[in-house]
Amino acid sequence: MNRIKKKLKQSEDILSIYFTVGFPCLNDTLQIIKELDSSKVDMIELGLPFSDPLADGQTIQNSSKIALANGMSTQLLFEQLIDIRNHTDIPLIIMGYLNPIFQFGIDLFCKKCKEVGIDGLIIPDLPPEIYISDYKKFFQLNDLINIFLITPQTSDDRIKYIDSISDGFIYMVSSSSITGGEHNFTKENIDYFKRINNLKLKSPKIIGFGISNREIFLTANNYANGCIIGSAFIKYIQKNGISSIRSFVKEITS
């Protein structure tokens, strides 16, 4: 069974951590994964740096800029991950934009994902219809789950369609803003979460964008199967170093 599906069946209040590969230093990827694994997070999202990350706020944009300046590339990421499954069995997801994946070759990209043990992809700018018509076959051949995003602006009919074609979890973007917000949820956010729950979707839901501390993490888990933390984690390791990762996770989970 795909590791994402297995984790979704086994766990509640899932904590997924996003970080930009090649940041803070070029070869930190493997060590960050090991630290997160030993900290007992549930899933890890590997952010593939891109020069024009439209959905990302300043923190992730800056981390992408640094990673690219460090020399990070798609090919290098696969080289860094070549023996990752000798170190961890944690679900691993690559989050990236379509352009660099397309340039690498989507068929080849999916094959490389299978070779190193990637379990799923999040491609925010890949329309579900194009995925179904052109790329789903590559995902299925390589046991990759494609994770779709919904936002407060996504219509109920569209959400139901996305739910019908999802075989992992739905990435529930908490607000209309870019990543990196640090304020607690508003009534508008909560009403949105309730609206989605009332749709009785078959797919688990994990909330991302704006999850920055334990209070927000706990609130979000009242309305979903878990949370994704990205910008807050990147800020933390930039300030405190990757040796402090366990302290960050502990602040969130206990």
Q: What is the rounded CA–CA span in Å between residue 110 and residue 93?
A: 12
Q: What is the rounded CA–CA span in Å between residue 64 and residue 70?
A: 10
Q: Provide the token pair at 248.
A: 């960050």
Burial profile 189-222: b = 16 or more Cβ within 10 angstroms, e = fewer: beebbeebeeeebebbbbbbbbbbeeebbebbbe
Q: What is the DSSP letter of 206?
A: E
Q: How many residues does the chain have?
A: 254
Q: Catalytic pick from 28, 42, 45, 119?
A: 45
To the query of whether residue 156 is one of the catalytic residues in this protein, the response is no
> What angle (nearest 5°) sits at the alpha carbon of residue 29, between those of residues 70 and 138?
100
Q: What is the rounded CA–CA span in Å between residue 113 and residue 40?
A: 23
To the query of whether residue 12 is one of the catalytic residues in this protein, the response is no
Q: Catalytic pick from 28, 42, 56, 163?
A: 56
Closest CA to 133 of 160, 115, 106: 106
In three-state secondary structure terms, 20 is strand
Q: What is the rounded CA–CA span in Å between residue 110 and residue 105?
A: 9
The number of angstroms, rounded, from the C-alpha of 91 to the middle of its chain's C-alpha atoms is 11
Catalytic annotation, residues:
45, 56
